[in-house]
Protein backbone atom coordinates (compact mmCIF):
# COMPACT_ATOMS: atom_id res chain seq x y z
CA UNK A 1 0.00 0.00 0.00
CA UNK A 2 1.25 3.47 -0.86
CA UNK A 3 -0.07 7.01 -0.82
CA UNK A 4 0.83 8.12 -4.34
CA UNK A 5 0.73 11.46 -6.10
CA UNK A 6 -1.19 10.46 -9.20
CA UNK A 7 -1.44 12.60 -12.30
CA UNK A 8 -4.86 12.74 -13.94
CA UNK A 9 -4.56 11.84 -17.63
CA UNK A 10 -8.20 11.53 -18.61
CA UNK A 11 -11.56 12.51 -17.12
CA UNK A 12 -14.74 12.45 -19.14
CA UNK A 13 -18.46 11.96 -18.84
CA UNK A 14 -19.62 8.62 -20.21
CA UNK A 15 -23.36 9.11 -19.82
CA UNK A 16 -25.93 10.56 -17.49
CA UNK A 17 -24.09 11.27 -14.23
CA UNK A 18 -21.32 8.73 -14.87
CA UNK A 19 -17.66 9.59 -15.35
CA UNK A 20 -14.50 7.82 -16.28
CA UNK A 21 -11.29 8.96 -14.54
CA UNK A 22 -7.77 7.80 -15.33
CA UNK A 23 -4.65 8.35 -13.21
CA UNK A 24 -1.04 7.82 -14.13
CA UNK A 25 0.37 5.94 -11.15
CA UNK A 26 2.79 3.26 -12.40
CA UNK A 27 3.72 1.37 -9.22
CA UNK A 28 0.13 1.03 -8.13
CA UNK A 29 -1.02 -0.01 -11.60
CA UNK A 30 1.34 -2.99 -11.40
CA UNK A 31 0.31 -3.96 -7.87
CA UNK A 32 -3.50 -3.74 -8.21
CA UNK A 33 -5.59 -6.84 -8.80
CA UNK A 34 -9.25 -7.03 -9.88
CA UNK A 35 -11.74 -6.23 -7.11
CA UNK A 36 -9.33 -4.04 -5.18
CA UNK A 37 -9.99 -0.35 -4.71
CA UNK A 38 -8.21 2.97 -4.37
CA UNK A 39 -8.95 5.68 -1.78
CA UNK A 40 -8.89 9.11 -3.36
CA UNK A 41 -8.42 12.50 -1.73
CA UNK A 42 -10.75 14.82 -3.60
CA UNK A 43 -8.82 18.05 -4.30
CA UNK A 44 -11.82 20.38 -4.54
CA UNK A 45 -13.10 19.44 -1.08
CA UNK A 46 -11.83 21.14 2.09
CA UNK A 47 -8.42 19.78 3.13
CA UNK A 48 -9.89 17.86 6.08
CA UNK A 49 -12.54 16.03 4.03
CA UNK A 50 -12.52 12.25 4.05
CA UNK A 51 -11.23 10.29 1.08
CA UNK A 52 -13.59 8.52 -1.33
CA UNK A 53 -13.13 4.85 -2.29
CA UNK A 54 -13.43 3.65 -5.90
CA UNK A 55 -13.25 0.17 -7.37
CA UNK A 56 -10.70 -0.10 -10.13
CA UNK A 57 -12.03 -0.38 -13.69
CA UNK A 58 -8.63 -1.25 -15.05
CA UNK A 59 -4.95 -1.06 -14.18
CA UNK A 60 -2.47 -1.37 -17.03
CA UNK A 61 0.34 0.48 -18.78
CA UNK A 62 1.08 2.57 -15.71
CA UNK A 63 -2.49 3.82 -15.52
CA UNK A 64 -5.36 3.18 -13.12
CA UNK A 65 -8.92 3.96 -14.16
CA UNK A 66 -12.10 4.25 -12.13
CA UNK A 67 -15.70 4.68 -13.14
CA UNK A 68 -18.01 6.58 -10.85
CA UNK A 69 -21.45 8.05 -10.51
CA UNK A 70 -22.00 11.50 -9.06
CA UNK A 71 -24.04 10.66 -5.98
CA UNK A 72 -23.01 13.16 -3.30
CA UNK A 73 -20.75 15.97 -2.21
CA UNK A 74 -17.50 14.07 -2.74
CA UNK A 75 -18.19 12.76 -6.22
CA UNK A 76 -19.68 16.14 -7.22
CA UNK A 77 -16.42 17.81 -6.17
CA UNK A 78 -14.44 15.17 -8.02
CA UNK A 79 -16.14 16.30 -11.25
CA UNK A 80 -13.87 19.35 -11.34
CA UNK A 81 -10.63 17.35 -11.54
CA UNK A 82 -8.82 17.99 -14.85
CA UNK A 83 -6.05 16.28 -16.80
CA UNK A 84 -2.59 17.13 -15.38
CA UNK A 85 -4.03 17.71 -11.88
CA UNK A 86 -2.18 15.73 -9.21
CA UNK A 87 -4.35 13.74 -6.82
CA UNK A 88 -3.42 11.74 -3.73
CA UNK A 89 -4.39 8.10 -4.30
CA UNK A 90 -4.03 5.48 -1.57
CA UNK A 91 -3.80 1.89 -2.75
CA UNK A 92 -3.92 -0.92 -3.61
CA UNK A 93 -6.54 -1.62 -0.97
CA UNK A 94 -8.85 -4.46 -0.09
CA UNK A 95 -9.27 -8.10 -0.83
CA UNK A 96 -10.21 -8.64 -4.48
CA UNK A 97 -11.60 -11.42 -6.66
CA UNK A 98 -9.85 -14.77 -7.03
CA UNK A 99 -8.03 -14.87 -10.35
CA UNK A 100 -8.85 -18.46 -11.14
CA UNK A 101 -12.27 -19.72 -12.08
CA UNK A 102 -13.71 -23.18 -12.57
CA UNK A 103 -16.14 -23.41 -15.46
CA UNK A 104 -17.97 -20.44 -16.90
CA UNK A 105 -17.23 -17.11 -15.23
CA UNK A 106 -20.54 -15.31 -14.86
CA UNK A 107 -19.96 -11.63 -14.13
CA UNK A 108 -23.01 -9.69 -12.94
CA UNK A 109 -22.89 -5.91 -12.64
CA UNK A 110 -25.35 -3.14 -11.93
CA UNK A 111 -24.67 0.51 -12.75
CA UNK A 112 -21.12 1.56 -11.89
CA UNK A 113 -20.69 -1.88 -10.30
CA UNK A 114 -19.41 -3.08 -13.68
CA UNK A 115 -16.08 -1.37 -12.90
CA UNK A 116 -14.25 -4.16 -11.01
CA UNK A 117 -15.86 -6.76 -13.30
CA UNK A 118 -14.21 -5.18 -16.33
CA UNK A 119 -10.78 -5.45 -14.68
CA UNK A 120 -11.59 -9.05 -13.74
CA UNK A 121 -12.80 -9.97 -17.24
CA UNK A 122 -9.66 -8.56 -18.82
CA UNK A 123 -7.32 -10.36 -16.40
CA UNK A 124 -9.18 -13.68 -16.66
CA UNK A 125 -9.10 -13.39 -20.43
CA UNK A 126 -5.39 -12.58 -20.44
CA UNK A 127 -4.69 -15.58 -18.23
CA UNK A 128 -6.31 -17.85 -20.80
CA UNK A 129 -9.74 -18.23 -19.25
CA UNK A 130 -11.96 -17.68 -22.27
CA UNK A 131 -15.32 -18.81 -20.91
CA UNK A 132 -16.69 -15.51 -19.59
CA UNK A 133 -20.22 -14.11 -19.73
CA UNK A 134 -21.14 -10.65 -18.52
CA UNK A 135 -24.58 -9.57 -17.35
CA UNK A 136 -25.11 -5.84 -17.11
CA UNK A 137 -28.19 -4.31 -15.58
CA UNK A 138 -29.54 -0.82 -15.00
CA UNK A 139 -32.71 1.17 -14.59
CA UNK A 140 -32.50 2.49 -18.18
CA UNK A 141 -30.07 2.17 -21.09
CA UNK A 142 -28.17 5.17 -19.65
CA UNK A 143 -27.17 3.00 -16.68
CA UNK A 144 -25.62 0.27 -18.83
CA UNK A 145 -21.95 1.16 -18.65
CA UNK A 146 -18.84 0.07 -20.52
CA UNK A 147 -20.79 -2.35 -22.72
CA UNK A 148 -18.46 -1.72 -25.65
CA UNK A 149 -15.41 -2.26 -23.46
CA UNK A 150 -16.68 -5.69 -22.45
CA UNK A 151 -17.55 -6.57 -26.06
CA UNK A 152 -14.07 -5.47 -27.11
CA UNK A 153 -12.67 -8.07 -24.71
CA UNK A 154 -14.53 -10.71 -26.70
CA UNK A 155 -16.80 -11.82 -23.87
CA UNK A 156 -20.49 -12.60 -24.25
CA UNK A 157 -22.62 -9.69 -22.98
CA UNK A 158 -26.23 -9.83 -21.75
CA UNK A 159 -28.15 -6.65 -21.01
CA UNK A 160 -31.23 -5.92 -18.92
CA UNK A 161 -33.04 -2.70 -18.06
CA UNK A 162 -35.99 -2.10 -15.73
CA UNK A 163 -37.76 -0.03 -18.38
CA UNK A 164 -36.82 -2.19 -21.35
CA UNK A 165 -35.01 0.67 -23.09
CA UNK A 166 -32.21 -1.76 -23.93
CA UNK A 167 -31.77 -5.50 -23.61
CA UNK A 168 -34.20 -7.65 -21.70
CA UNK A 169 -36.95 -5.76 -19.84
CA UNK A 170 -36.63 -6.74 -16.21
CA UNK A 171 -33.86 -7.57 -13.79
CA UNK A 172 -30.32 -8.57 -14.63
CA UNK A 173 -31.02 -11.87 -12.91
CA UNK A 174 -33.58 -12.73 -15.65
CA UNK A 175 -30.99 -13.39 -18.39
CA UNK A 176 -28.68 -14.78 -15.71
CA UNK A 177 -31.25 -17.38 -14.67
CA UNK A 178 -31.68 -18.48 -18.29
CA UNK A 179 -27.95 -18.99 -18.60
CA UNK A 180 -27.70 -20.77 -15.25
CA UNK A 181 -30.36 -23.19 -16.40
CA UNK A 182 -28.62 -23.75 -19.73
CA UNK A 183 -25.27 -24.41 -18.03
CA UNK A 184 -26.80 -26.79 -15.49
CA UNK A 185 -28.65 -28.72 -18.17
CA UNK A 186 -25.41 -29.06 -20.12
CA UNK A 187 -23.75 -30.36 -16.94
CA UNK A 188 -21.36 -27.40 -16.87
CA UNK A 189 -19.82 -25.63 -13.96
CA UNK A 190 -19.79 -21.92 -13.18
CA UNK A 191 -18.71 -19.27 -10.71
CA UNK A 192 -20.51 -16.00 -10.05
CA UNK A 193 -18.82 -12.63 -9.63
CA UNK A 194 -20.96 -9.60 -8.79
CA UNK A 195 -20.82 -5.91 -7.98
CA UNK A 196 -23.71 -3.46 -7.85
CA UNK A 197 -26.61 -2.39 -5.63
CA UNK A 198 -27.29 -4.49 -2.52
CA UNK A 199 -30.60 -6.09 -3.70
CA UNK A 200 -28.86 -7.28 -6.87
CA UNK A 201 -25.91 -8.63 -4.86
CA UNK A 202 -28.21 -10.48 -2.52
CA UNK A 203 -30.05 -12.03 -5.47
CA UNK A 204 -26.78 -13.16 -7.05
CA UNK A 205 -25.37 -14.43 -3.74
CA UNK A 206 -28.45 -16.59 -3.20
CA UNK A 207 -27.90 -18.16 -6.64
CA UNK A 208 -24.45 -19.30 -5.53
CA UNK A 209 -25.12 -20.28 -1.93
CA UNK A 210 -25.74 -23.97 -1.36
CA UNK A 211 -25.45 -24.86 -5.06
CA UNK A 212 -21.93 -26.19 -4.97
CA UNK A 213 -20.89 -23.27 -7.13
CA UNK A 214 -18.85 -20.40 -5.83
CA UNK A 215 -19.95 -16.79 -5.73
CA UNK A 216 -17.82 -13.70 -5.15
CA UNK A 217 -19.62 -10.56 -4.11
CA UNK A 218 -18.07 -7.08 -4.05
CA UNK A 219 -19.77 -4.81 -1.48
CA UNK A 220 -20.04 -1.05 -1.82
CA UNK A 221 -19.89 0.81 1.51
CA UNK A 222 -19.09 4.28 2.75
CA UNK A 223 -15.62 4.18 4.24
CA UNK A 224 -13.44 6.29 6.48
CA UNK A 225 -9.88 4.96 6.51
CA UNK A 226 -9.95 2.31 3.78
CA UNK A 227 -7.14 0.35 5.45
CA UNK A 228 -8.85 -1.51 8.31
CA UNK A 229 -8.06 0.98 11.05
CA UNK A 230 -11.43 2.53 11.89
CA UNK A 231 -14.07 -0.24 11.64
CA UNK A 232 -16.69 1.96 9.96
CA UNK A 233 -17.42 -0.05 6.78
CA UNK A 234 -18.95 -3.14 8.32
CA UNK A 235 -20.66 -6.02 6.54
CA UNK A 236 -22.22 -8.78 8.59
CA UNK A 237 -20.71 -12.14 7.73
CA UNK A 238 -20.63 -15.61 9.26
CA UNK A 239 -17.47 -14.44 11.08
CA UNK A 240 -19.25 -11.45 12.65
CA UNK A 241 -18.79 -7.80 11.75
CA UNK A 242 -16.28 -7.80 8.89
CA UNK A 243 -14.61 -4.74 7.42
CA UNK A 244 -15.37 -4.17 3.74
CA UNK A 245 -12.01 -2.44 3.28
CA UNK A 246 -9.78 -5.34 4.34
CA UNK A 247 -11.81 -8.56 4.66
CA UNK A 248 -13.69 -7.28 1.58
CA UNK A 249 -14.80 -5.60 -0.55
CA UNK A 250 -15.04 -9.03 -2.20
CA UNK A 251 -16.61 -11.67 0.04
CA UNK A 252 -17.54 -15.29 -0.59
CA UNK A 253 -21.28 -15.38 -1.26
CA UNK A 254 -21.97 -17.97 1.43
CA UNK A 255 -20.17 -15.90 4.07
CA UNK A 256 -22.49 -12.91 3.73
CA UNK A 257 -25.30 -12.37 6.22
CA UNK A 258 -28.15 -10.31 4.77
CA UNK A 259 -30.31 -8.16 7.05
CA UNK B 1 19.74 19.30 16.62
CA UNK B 2 16.44 19.70 18.43
CA UNK B 3 15.82 17.22 21.25
CA UNK B 4 12.43 15.81 20.33
CA UNK B 5 12.07 13.32 23.18
CA UNK B 6 9.41 13.76 25.83
CA UNK B 7 8.48 11.92 29.01
CA UNK B 8 4.76 11.29 29.30
CA UNK B 9 4.39 10.14 32.88
CA UNK B 10 7.11 7.53 32.52
CA UNK B 11 6.44 6.68 28.88
CA UNK B 12 9.59 7.71 27.05
CA UNK B 13 8.61 8.99 23.62
CA UNK B 14 11.27 9.67 20.97
CA UNK B 15 9.00 12.29 19.43
CA UNK B 16 6.05 14.20 20.89
CA UNK B 17 3.65 12.88 18.23
CA UNK B 18 1.40 9.88 18.87
CA UNK B 19 -1.71 8.54 17.17
CA UNK B 20 -5.12 8.66 18.82
CA UNK B 21 -7.08 5.56 19.77
CA UNK B 22 -9.60 4.39 17.21
CA UNK B 23 -7.98 6.22 14.32
CA UNK B 24 -4.91 4.05 13.84
CA UNK B 25 -6.24 0.51 14.22
CA UNK B 26 -3.73 -1.62 16.08
CA UNK B 27 -0.72 0.22 14.72
CA UNK B 28 0.16 -1.86 11.66
CA UNK B 29 -2.64 -0.94 9.27
CA UNK B 30 -0.82 2.08 7.86
CA UNK B 31 2.48 0.34 7.12
CA UNK B 32 3.68 1.71 3.77
CA UNK B 33 1.87 5.01 4.14
CA UNK B 34 4.03 6.74 6.74
CA UNK B 35 7.45 6.85 8.38
CA UNK B 36 6.90 5.30 11.81
CA UNK B 37 10.22 6.65 13.11
CA UNK B 38 8.56 10.03 13.48
CA UNK B 39 5.95 8.64 15.87
CA UNK B 40 6.62 8.73 19.61
CA UNK B 41 3.90 6.17 20.25
CA UNK B 42 0.90 4.57 18.62
CA UNK B 43 -2.33 4.14 20.54
CA UNK B 44 -4.21 0.91 19.88
CA UNK B 45 -7.96 0.81 19.39
CA UNK B 46 -9.92 0.31 22.62
CA UNK B 47 -9.71 -3.18 24.05
CA UNK B 48 -11.79 -4.87 26.73
CA UNK B 49 -11.80 -8.30 28.33
CA UNK B 50 -13.98 -10.13 25.81
CA UNK B 51 -14.77 -9.68 22.11
CA UNK B 52 -17.25 -6.91 21.40
CA UNK B 53 -19.24 -6.53 18.13
CA UNK B 54 -19.64 -2.75 18.14
CA UNK B 55 -22.64 -0.82 16.79
CA UNK B 56 -24.87 -1.32 13.77
CA UNK B 57 -24.40 0.45 10.46
CA UNK B 58 -24.13 3.28 9.57
CA UNK B 59 -21.33 4.04 12.00
CA UNK B 60 -20.16 7.40 10.72
CA UNK B 61 -21.15 10.60 9.02
CA UNK B 62 -18.93 13.30 7.58
CA UNK B 63 -19.93 16.78 8.81
CA UNK B 64 -18.62 20.32 8.36
CA UNK B 65 -15.32 20.47 10.22
CA UNK B 66 -15.09 16.82 11.06
CA UNK B 67 -16.64 13.45 11.51
CA UNK B 68 -19.33 12.00 13.77
CA UNK B 69 -18.77 8.34 14.60
CA UNK B 70 -20.37 5.62 16.64
CA UNK B 71 -18.20 2.62 15.84
CA UNK B 72 -19.02 1.21 19.26
CA UNK B 73 -15.57 -0.09 20.21
CA UNK B 74 -15.65 -3.25 18.10
CA UNK B 75 -12.76 -5.44 19.16
CA UNK B 76 -11.50 -8.95 19.68
CA UNK B 77 -10.83 -8.90 23.44
CA UNK B 78 -7.61 -8.97 25.43
CA UNK B 79 -6.62 -12.57 24.68
CA UNK B 80 -6.59 -12.21 20.91
CA UNK B 81 -4.98 -8.80 21.34
CA UNK B 82 -2.05 -10.19 23.30
CA UNK B 83 -1.66 -13.45 21.38
CA UNK B 84 -2.10 -12.18 17.83
CA UNK B 85 -2.34 -8.41 17.52
CA UNK B 86 0.66 -7.25 19.53
CA UNK B 87 3.10 -9.77 17.95
CA UNK B 88 1.72 -8.82 14.54
CA UNK B 89 2.38 -5.14 15.23
CA UNK B 90 5.98 -5.87 16.27
CA UNK B 91 6.50 -8.03 13.20
CA UNK B 92 4.95 -5.65 10.66
CA UNK B 93 6.35 -2.34 11.86
CA UNK B 94 10.10 -1.80 11.65
CA UNK B 95 11.47 0.14 14.64
CA UNK B 96 7.97 0.06 16.07
CA UNK B 97 7.27 2.88 18.53
CA UNK B 98 5.86 1.90 21.92
CA UNK B 99 2.18 1.08 22.01
CA UNK B 100 -0.24 2.84 24.31
CA UNK B 101 -3.08 0.40 24.85
CA UNK B 102 -6.49 2.01 25.21
CA UNK B 103 -8.73 -0.02 27.52
CA UNK B 104 -12.39 0.06 28.45
CA UNK B 105 -14.96 -2.06 30.23
CA UNK B 106 -18.38 -2.31 31.77
CA UNK B 107 -17.15 -2.37 35.34
CA UNK B 108 -14.21 -1.23 37.49
CA UNK B 109 -13.20 -4.88 37.84
CA UNK B 110 -13.05 -5.35 34.08
CA UNK B 111 -10.69 -2.39 33.65
CA UNK B 112 -8.51 -3.69 36.45
CA UNK B 113 -8.32 -7.17 34.98
CA UNK B 114 -7.43 -5.90 31.49
CA UNK B 115 -4.76 -3.67 33.04
CA UNK B 116 -3.34 -6.63 34.96
CA UNK B 117 -3.12 -8.77 31.83
CA UNK B 118 -1.41 -5.98 29.90
CA UNK B 119 1.09 -5.37 32.68
CA UNK B 120 1.93 -9.04 32.84
CA UNK B 121 2.37 -9.17 29.05
CA UNK B 122 4.50 -6.02 28.93
CA UNK B 123 7.08 -7.78 31.11
CA UNK B 124 7.57 -10.50 28.48
CA UNK B 125 9.63 -10.51 25.29
CA UNK B 126 6.48 -10.80 23.11
CA UNK B 127 4.71 -7.92 24.82
CA UNK B 128 7.58 -5.56 25.53
CA UNK B 129 6.28 -3.03 23.00
CA UNK B 130 3.36 -2.25 25.34
CA UNK B 131 4.46 1.04 26.84
CA UNK B 132 1.45 2.45 28.64
CA UNK B 133 -2.23 2.03 29.41
CA UNK B 134 -4.82 4.62 28.45
CA UNK B 135 -8.20 4.32 30.20
CA UNK B 136 -11.20 5.35 28.14
CA UNK B 137 -13.63 6.53 30.81
CA UNK B 138 -16.35 7.62 28.38
CA UNK B 139 -18.14 4.28 28.27
CA UNK B 140 -21.13 3.30 30.43
CA UNK B 141 -20.61 1.75 33.86
CA UNK B 142 -22.99 -1.13 33.16
CA UNK B 143 -22.71 -2.60 36.64
CA UNK B 144 -23.58 0.63 38.42
CA UNK B 145 -26.42 2.41 36.68
CA UNK B 146 -24.98 2.87 33.20
CA UNK B 147 -23.60 6.38 33.65
CA UNK B 148 -20.19 6.83 32.11
CA UNK B 149 -17.22 6.48 34.47
CA UNK B 150 -15.88 9.83 33.40
CA UNK B 151 -18.96 11.81 34.41
CA UNK B 152 -18.60 11.47 38.18
CA UNK B 153 -15.33 12.41 39.90
CA UNK B 154 -15.86 9.89 42.73
CA UNK B 155 -16.49 7.00 40.33
CA UNK B 156 -13.56 8.12 38.19
CA UNK B 157 -11.32 8.20 41.25
CA UNK B 158 -12.33 4.67 42.21
CA UNK B 159 -11.69 3.42 38.69
CA UNK B 160 -8.23 4.99 38.50
CA UNK B 161 -7.28 3.60 41.92
CA UNK B 162 -8.41 0.10 40.95
CA UNK B 163 -6.41 0.15 37.71
CA UNK B 164 -3.41 1.69 39.48
CA UNK B 165 -3.33 -1.21 41.91
CA UNK B 166 -2.95 -3.65 39.01
CA UNK B 167 -0.37 -1.90 36.90
CA UNK B 168 3.14 -0.57 37.06
CA UNK B 169 2.87 0.68 33.47
CA UNK B 170 2.46 4.41 32.90
CA UNK B 171 -1.25 5.00 33.44
CA UNK B 172 -2.96 7.59 31.26
CA UNK B 173 -6.60 8.54 31.78
CA UNK B 174 -8.50 9.84 28.74
CA UNK B 175 -10.95 12.48 29.88
CA UNK B 176 -14.34 13.30 28.44
CA UNK B 177 -14.76 16.91 27.28
CA UNK B 178 -18.45 17.26 28.13
CA UNK B 179 -18.20 18.34 31.76
CA UNK B 180 -18.90 21.82 33.16
CA UNK B 181 -15.50 22.06 34.88
CA UNK B 182 -12.60 19.74 34.07
CA UNK B 183 -10.71 20.37 37.33
CA UNK B 184 -12.52 17.91 39.67
CA UNK B 185 -11.91 15.16 37.09
CA UNK B 186 -8.25 16.08 36.80
CA UNK B 187 -7.89 15.90 40.58
CA UNK B 188 -9.74 12.58 40.70
CA UNK B 189 -7.17 11.13 38.33
CA UNK B 190 -4.22 12.67 40.15
CA UNK B 191 -5.43 11.42 43.51
CA UNK B 192 -6.16 7.98 42.04
CA UNK B 193 -2.54 7.58 40.99
CA UNK B 194 -2.68 8.36 37.26
CA UNK B 195 0.65 9.19 35.60
CA UNK B 196 -0.78 11.29 32.79
CA UNK B 197 -3.98 12.58 31.22
CA UNK B 198 -5.07 12.41 27.63
CA UNK B 199 -7.68 14.72 26.26
CA UNK B 200 -10.02 15.23 24.63
CA UNK B 201 -12.26 12.34 23.73
CA UNK B 202 -14.89 13.04 21.06
CA UNK B 203 -17.69 15.50 21.82
CA UNK B 204 -21.15 13.87 21.97
CA UNK B 205 -22.99 14.67 18.75
CA UNK B 206 -25.94 13.78 16.56
CA UNK B 207 -26.78 14.09 12.88
CA UNK B 208 -30.32 13.82 11.52
CA UNK B 209 -31.34 12.92 7.97
CA UNK B 210 -34.13 15.45 7.49
CA UNK B 211 -35.62 13.66 4.47
CA UNK B 212 -36.00 10.39 6.35
CA UNK B 213 -36.53 12.19 9.69
CA UNK B 214 -34.20 9.69 11.31
CA UNK B 215 -30.81 9.91 13.00
CA UNK B 216 -28.10 9.10 10.47
CA UNK B 217 -26.15 6.79 12.79
CA UNK B 218 -27.60 3.42 13.74
CA UNK B 219 -26.60 4.25 17.32
CA UNK B 220 -28.57 7.52 16.96
CA UNK B 221 -25.78 9.55 18.57
CA UNK B 222 -22.02 9.50 18.27
CA UNK B 223 -18.88 11.50 18.92
CA UNK B 224 -17.61 14.50 16.98
CA UNK B 225 -13.93 14.63 16.06
CA UNK B 226 -11.83 16.56 13.58
CA UNK B 227 -10.83 20.10 12.82
CA UNK B 228 -13.91 21.68 14.37
CA UNK B 229 -13.20 20.51 17.92
CA UNK B 230 -9.64 21.81 18.10
CA UNK B 231 -10.19 25.18 19.83
CA UNK B 232 -12.44 23.51 22.42
CA UNK B 233 -9.70 20.95 23.07
CA UNK B 234 -7.01 23.62 23.45
CA UNK B 235 -9.10 25.34 26.12
CA UNK B 236 -9.62 22.11 28.04
CA UNK B 237 -5.91 21.25 27.89
CA UNK B 238 -5.12 24.74 29.15
CA UNK B 239 -7.59 24.40 32.04
CA UNK B 240 -6.36 20.93 32.95
CA UNK B 241 -2.71 21.94 32.86
CA UNK B 242 -3.43 24.81 35.21
CA UNK B 243 -5.02 22.37 37.65
CA UNK B 244 -2.34 19.67 37.72
CA UNK B 245 1.30 18.74 37.33
CA UNK B 246 0.36 15.57 35.44
CA UNK B 247 1.65 15.55 31.87
CA UNK B 248 -1.02 15.78 29.18
CA UNK B 249 -1.28 13.95 25.86
CA UNK B 250 -3.41 16.39 23.85
CA UNK B 251 -5.65 15.46 20.95
CA UNK B 252 -8.56 16.92 19.06
CA UNK B 253 -8.34 18.30 15.53
CA UNK B 254 -4.58 18.15 14.96
CA UNK B 255 -4.20 18.52 11.18
CA UNK B 256 -0.93 20.42 11.03
CA UNK B 257 2.03 21.41 13.19
CA UNK B 258 0.37 24.66 14.19
CA UNK B 259 -2.43 22.73 15.92
CA UNK B 260 0.08 20.57 17.81
CA UNK B 261 2.17 23.56 18.88
CA UNK B 262 -0.96 25.28 20.20
CA UNK B 263 -1.57 22.23 22.38
CA UNK B 264 2.02 22.29 23.63
CA UNK B 265 1.85 25.99 24.46
CA UNK B 266 -1.45 25.40 26.28
CA UNK B 267 0.31 22.89 28.52
CA UNK B 268 0.52 19.56 26.71
CA UNK B 269 3.60 17.33 26.94
CA UNK B 270 2.78 15.40 23.77
CA UNK B 271 0.10 15.41 21.08
CA UNK B 272 -1.85 12.81 19.15
CA UNK B 273 -3.19 12.99 15.61
CA UNK B 274 -6.53 11.32 15.06
CA UNK B 275 -9.17 11.97 12.45
CA UNK B 276 -6.64 13.78 10.20
CA UNK B 277 -4.90 10.46 9.53
CA UNK B 278 -7.97 9.26 7.63
CA UNK B 279 -7.46 12.01 5.07
CA UNK B 280 -3.67 12.05 5.12
CA UNK B 281 -2.07 8.87 6.49
CA UNK B 282 1.30 10.59 6.88
CA UNK B 283 -0.04 13.66 8.69
CA UNK B 284 1.88 12.68 11.86
CA UNK B 285 5.17 13.00 9.97
CA UNK B 286 4.26 16.47 8.77
CA UNK B 287 3.22 17.52 12.26
CA UNK B 288 6.54 16.26 13.63
CA UNK B 289 8.58 18.03 10.92
CA UNK B 290 6.68 21.25 11.50
CA UNK B 291 7.23 21.11 15.27
CA UNK B 292 10.97 20.65 14.80
CA UNK B 293 11.02 23.51 12.32
CA UNK B 294 9.14 25.71 14.79
CA UNK B 295 11.63 24.92 17.56
CA UNK B 296 14.49 25.87 15.25
CA UNK B 297 12.88 29.11 14.18
CA UNK B 298 11.99 30.12 17.74
CA UNK B 299 15.18 29.00 19.44
CA UNK B 300 13.83 26.10 21.48
CA UNK B 301 16.52 23.46 22.05
CA UNK B 302 13.97 20.87 23.03
CA UNK B 303 10.37 20.17 22.07
CA UNK B 304 9.70 19.65 25.77
CA UNK B 305 10.45 23.35 26.31
CA UNK B 306 7.29 24.19 24.35
CA UNK B 307 5.09 22.88 27.15
CA UNK B 308 3.16 25.77 28.67
CA UNK B 309 5.52 28.26 27.02
CA UNK B 310 2.86 30.91 26.64
CA UNK B 311 4.23 34.39 27.24
pLDDT over threshold 90, residue B227: yes
Secondary structure in 3-state letters for A130-171: CCEEEEEEECCHHHCCCHHHHHHCCCEEEEEECCCCCCEECC
pLDDT over threshold 90, residue B42: yes
A81 φ, ψ to 5°? -65, 135
Question: Within an 8 Å CB–CB cutoff, is residue B299 touching chain A?
Answer: no
Q: Is the Cβ–Cβ distance between B202 and B69 less than 8 Å?
A: yes
Q: Find the domain containing B193 and state its range.
A: 6-56+74-207+225-306
Within a domain: B64 = no
pLDDT at B140: 75
| Residues of chain A contacting residue B85, judged by C-beta atoms under 8 Å apart | none
| Residues of chain A contacting residue B59, judged by C-beta atoms under 8 Å apart | 231-232, 234
Within a domain: B66 = no
Within a domain: B97 = yes
Within a domain: B287 = yes
Q: Which helix (H) or strand (E) segment is B109 a member of?
A: helix B108-122
pLDDT over threshold 90, residue B164: yes
Average pLDDT of every residue of chain B:
96
| Residues of chain A contacting residue B275, judged by C-beta atoms under 8 Å apart | 48
Catalytic residue among B61, B135, B139, B189: B139
Q: What ipTM was reported for this prediction? A: 0.95
Within a domain: B50 = yes
**Percent of chain A's residues with pLDDT above 90:** 96
Within a domain: B89 = yes
| Residues of chain B contacting residue A224, judged by C-beta atoms under 8 Å apart | 60, 67, 69, 278
CA gap A217, A215 in Å, rounded = 6
How confident is residue B144, by pLDDT bands cut at 50, 70 and 90?
Answer: confident
List of domains in chain A:
2-93 (2.40.30.10), 104-255 (3.40.50.80)
- How far is A111 from chain B, CA to nearest CA, in Å? 22
Mean pLDDT of B229-247: 98
- How far is B23 from chain A, CA to nearest CA, in Å? 6
pLDDT over threshold 90, residue A7: yes
State if pTM tops 0.80. Answer: yes
B 44-73 residues with CB < 8 A to A: 45, 51, 53-54, 57-60, 62, 65-67, 69, 71
pLDDT over threshold 90, residue A159: yes
CA gap B266, A117 in Å, rounded = 53
Nearest by CB: A50 against B32, B53, B62: B62
pLDDT over threshold 80, residue B51: yes
How confident is residue A120, by pLDDT bands cut at 50, 70 and 90?
Answer: very high
Residue B139 is among the residues annotated as catalytic for this protein: yes
Residue of B27, B28, B57, B282 to mutate when probing chain A, most A C-beta within 10 A: B57
pLDDT over threshold 80, residue A26: yes
Question: Using the beta-carbon criterion (under 8 Å), do A230 and B25 form an inter-chain contact?
Answer: yes
Into how many domains does chain B fold?
1
Mean pLDDT of B174-202: 97
pLDDT over threshold 90, residue B141: no
Q: Is the Cβ–Cβ distance between B130 and B85 less than 8 Å?
A: no
pLDDT at A211: 82
Average pLDDT of every residue of chain A:
96
The CATH number of residue B115's host domain is: 3.20.20.70
Amino acid sequence: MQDASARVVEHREIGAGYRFLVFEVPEMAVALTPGQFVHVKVPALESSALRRPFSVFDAADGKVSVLYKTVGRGTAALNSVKPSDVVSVLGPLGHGFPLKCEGTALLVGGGYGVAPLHFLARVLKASGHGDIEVFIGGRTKDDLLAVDRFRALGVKVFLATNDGSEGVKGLVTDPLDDELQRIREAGGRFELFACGPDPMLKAVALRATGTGSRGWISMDRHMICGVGACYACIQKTVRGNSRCCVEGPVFRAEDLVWE
Amino acid sequence: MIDTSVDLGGLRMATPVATASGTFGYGFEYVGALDYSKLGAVTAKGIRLNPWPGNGMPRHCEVAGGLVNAIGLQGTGIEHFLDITVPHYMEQVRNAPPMIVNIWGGSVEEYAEVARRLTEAAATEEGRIIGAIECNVSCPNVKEGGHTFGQDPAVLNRLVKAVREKTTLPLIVKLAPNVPDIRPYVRACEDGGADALSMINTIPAMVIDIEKRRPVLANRTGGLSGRGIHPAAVKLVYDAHNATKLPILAMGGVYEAKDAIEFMLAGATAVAVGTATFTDPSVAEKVYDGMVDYCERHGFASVADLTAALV
